[in-house]
Amino acid sequence: MAVSYNGLWKLLIDKNMKKIDLINRIAISSSTVAKMANGEFVSLKVLEKICAELDCDFGDIVHYERESKDGGQ
């Protein structure tokens, strides 16, 4: 996995929110949240909506995890 959204999940916990609350507040699909849960890429527009709603920056919600050259982490 090259992308981690652990910052987002921690931020939701800190704000006492569930994933469904985020889905309803910013009108994104559950499949988009599922992609994030699986460490897949989502559009910058989605990340922008999340940051606007949670009053945070991209770096607060997403982290790039570099993979080693042998394919492991």
Q: Model confidence at 46, in pLDDT bands (50, 70, 90)?
A: very high
Q: Which neighbouring-strand residues pair with 4?
A: 63
- Give 27-45 pLDDT, tens digit per residue: 999 999 999 999 999 999 9
CA-to-CA distance for 43 and 30, rounded, in angstroms? 14
The SS3 assignment for 41 reads coil
Total-model pTM = 0.85
Output the six-digit token pair for 27.
């009108």
Question: Would you kindly state where each structural domain of the chain is located, as residue ranges?
Answer: 3-64
Is 3-64 in CATH node 1.10.260.40?
Answer: yes
CA-to-CA distance for 10 and 60, rounded, in angstroms? 9
